[in-house]
A and B are shown apart, each in its own frame.
Chain A
């Protein structure tokens, strides 16, 4: 019950924040030089289609009414028509969303698990050479420039060695082939995903390792670890069952705190690998002055970040029974 109340309250908060973002974006689009009609209506449209769209988006109305139309269209999912694709924007972004979620969540989960595992070991061997090398490695992973890392991985593993495809998410020949089964198609996606996944994994994994390491070092100083030692428990049991679960909590917090930062990285990765996700669509639409698509992708990303923050908070409260939903 308590949890449900907490989620409900947070959802209202998120709705308010989102509404503010929506409004600021509306104002920015009106403040920018040029008029809103040229921004939202493709210059290459037939006059009748353009007329229809202007009416739908309320662009011929005074600014106050325009805002109401804008909110109404947002609620009903009408974002206008993309200049580049000539399709409704909502269809495009709904089509791209699963690809982004797939790549992003897989990379975050994998890197958090590996970061926690290796961070635990590094802290346990504090001062030994294993620890030093792991720390330095993690620092390098954390600060390497992401687009460059992506280019280097493509150069090495896709071009030189040829293990993976250069870019994209699927190979057309597999998907056209009527005989290709589900497994072959799934493998095709995984094959394309390994390099972008590896890029995001490296970037995140370093910081999770560093956080886990320092949190583990703090935990090892706690009284209950001393108690466990005094009871004569095995060192491995103390490390894996008494210290690590508690030490892993800050990693969960940091996943939430660094989400905005990770989204930037996700967009860059998708762009370099031409992974058909929301982040790439945003970069692409901004480059092509495809304003309706840019606006909708941005709003969708903001909504995803806000909701993901909530998920992380709930997960944290679930993992740590000491937390009360306040």
Chain B
């Protein structure tokens, strides 16, 4: 196990795209960690309600506010740091939940076969054709302002089908292997076979898909916030873009328009690059699967 890991790491280090992705990711992780510091220095750097008392409109970068301030004098740099925290939180938790669901459903469908398989895969097909962003929009119009964790949950509930298809295919091929047969003969229960014998074999693939799901979860949350349906209790990059767009500052304040967009794009790029690099290491033949979303 350890040897396999070291070997994979060596392959990863040789992969240019993987190296770029990992470097970017570390930078953003540092930003997320640093987001806890500025409010401790001065309450004026509170990303949500910290206002510089001397400033009442959007100002450009200065020594005091490295990236300038927004329309009511809040510090853009500290908002950017707080946005990194939200992006990681949303991306990783939504991806984790959807991968968990997708792996579980995929394994059950592949292992059980017949009616269960058909029912689950039909459900997957149905959810797969739904545009997630628009679904969340409709839900938030019906149920009012959604909490950030509700948004995460909805994203997870609508993003499992792609993963479950891949895991199901993998399970179908594993089911034919002699070691599963041996486990059955030895009297292992279905639950034991699924969790002890199949899970470890599909886990690398599931982890790979997690990186792609992080990307799509971050994009959906950012787009939602951009349209004005984000959680008003948080500062996310999408929300910063919404503010600059809706308050009509986009032509006057490039220092405000550029950073959040660059951050969203680079963070999704870094997870995507990481995923592609992992894909090449795990199985070069899989390469085209993940690119579709």
Q: A264-B131, A294-B141, A309-B129 are in contact. Are A151 and B250 (CB under 8 A)?
A: yes
B223 at interface, CB cutoff 8 A: yes
Q: Is the CB of B269 within 8 A of A263?
A: no
Q: A143-B269, A147-B226, A254-B291 are in contact. Are A263 and B134 (CB under 8 A)?
A: yes
Q: Which residue of A lies closest to B271 (CB)?
A: A143
Q: A301 and B131: CB pair below 8 A?
A: yes
Contact of A144 among B133, B265, B288 (CB under 8 A): B265
A289: chain B residues within 8 A (beta carbon): 141
Q: Which residues of the other chain, B, contact A258 by a CB distance below 8 angstroms? A: 292-293
Distance (Å) between the CB of A94 and the closest chain B CB? Answer: 19
Of the stretches A45-53, A71-79, A207-215, A317-325, the one at the interface is A207-215
Q: Mask for B115-149, Cβ within 8 A of A = 1, else 0? A: 00000000001101111111001111111100000
Closest to B260 in A: A148
Asked, given contacts A145-B261, A258-B293, A283-B227, whether A28 binds B142 with beta carbons under 8 Å apart, the answer is yes
**Interfacial chain A residues near B288, Cβ < 8 Å:** 211, 214-215, 218, 250, 254
Q: Is B60 an interface residue (CB 8 A)?
A: no
A261 CB within 8 Å of chain B: yes
Q: Is B251 an interface residue (CB 8 A)?
A: yes
Whether A298 contacts B134 by the Cβ 8 Å rule is: yes
Q: Taking A258-B292, A260-B128 as contacts, is the C-beta distance between A147 and B265 under 8 angstroms?
A: no
Q: Looking across the interface, which residue of chain A has its beta carbon closest to that of B293?
A: A261
Interface SS of B by simple majority: helix
Q: How far is the CA of A7 from the CA of B138 in the complex (A)?
A: 31
Residue from A21, A145, A207, A215 in contact with B265 in the complex, judged by beta carbons closer than 8 Å: A145
The distance from the CB of B252 to the nearest CB of chain A, in whole angstroms, is: 10
Is A257 in contact with chain B by the CB < 8 A criterion?
A: yes
Residues of A within 8 A of B103 (CB): none
Which residues from chain A contact B175 at a C-beta distance below 8 Å?
A: none
Chain A residues whose CB sits within 8 angstroms of the CB of B65 once the complex forms: none
Please determine whether A268 and B226 come into contact, CB atoms closer than 8 angstroms.
yes
Is the beta-carbon distance between B142 and A32 smaller than 8 angstroms? yes
Q: How many residues of A contact B (CB 8 A)?
A: 60
Q: Report if A29 contacts B (CB, 8 A).
A: yes
Mask for B195-230, Cβ within 8 A of A = 1, else 0?
000000000000000000001100110110011110
- Give the one of A21, A260, A285, A302 with max B CB within 10 A: A260
Contacts of A294 in B (CB 8 A): 138, 141
Question: Which listed residue, B130, B226, B241, touches A302 by the CB 8 Å rule?
Answer: B130
* A145 close to B137 (CB less than 8 A): no
**B268 contacts the other chain (Cβ, under 8 Å)?**
yes
A100 located at the interface, meaning its Cβ lies under 8 Å from any Cβ of chain B in the complex: no
Contacts of A305 in B (CB 8 A): 129-131
- Which residues on the B side are within 8 Å of A257 (C-beta)? 128, 292-293
Q: How far is the CB of A147 from chain B (nearest CB, A)?
A: 5
Q: Across the interface, do A142 and B223 meet the contact criterion of CB distance under 8 Å? A: no
Q: How far is the CA of A20 from the CA of B293 in the complex (A)?
A: 25
In the complex the two chains form, is A261's CB within 8 Å of B131's CB?
Answer: yes
User: Could you tell me if A148 and B241 are in contact, using CB atoms closer than 8 angstroms?
Assistant: yes
Chain B residue numbers with a CB within 8 Å of A155 are: 250-251, 254, 257
Q: Is A311 an interface residue (CB 8 A)?
A: no
Q: Are A145 and B291 in contact (CB under 8 A)?
A: no
Point out the residues of chain A lying under 8 angstroms from B250, CB to CB.
151, 154-155
- Say if the beta carbon of A159 comes within 8 Å of chain B: yes
Chain A minimum-CB-distance residue to B261: A148
Q: In the bound complex, how far is the Cα of B130 from the Cα of A20, in angstroms?
A: 12
Given A33-B143, A289-B141, CB of A145 within 8 Å of CB of B264 = yes
* Complex Cα spacing A59 to B255, Å: 52
Q: Does A129 contact B (CB under 8 A)?
A: no
Question: A268 to chain B: which residues have CB within 8 Å?
Answer: 133, 223, 226-227
Give chain B nearest CB distance to A217 CB in angstroms: 8
| Distance in Å: Cβ of B246 to nearest Cβ of chain A | 11
Q: Which residues of A contact B111 (CB under 8 A)?
A: none
Check A210 against B139 for contact (C-beta < 8 Å). Answer: no
A-B contact pairs, 15 of them (CB 8 A): A139-B17, A142-B272, A145-B265, A207-B291, A253-B292, A254-B291, A260-B131, A264-B220, A268-B227, A279-B134, A286-B141, A286-B229, A294-B138, A298-B134, A298-B138
3 closest cross-chain pairs (CB), A and B = A148-B261, A32-B142, A264-B133
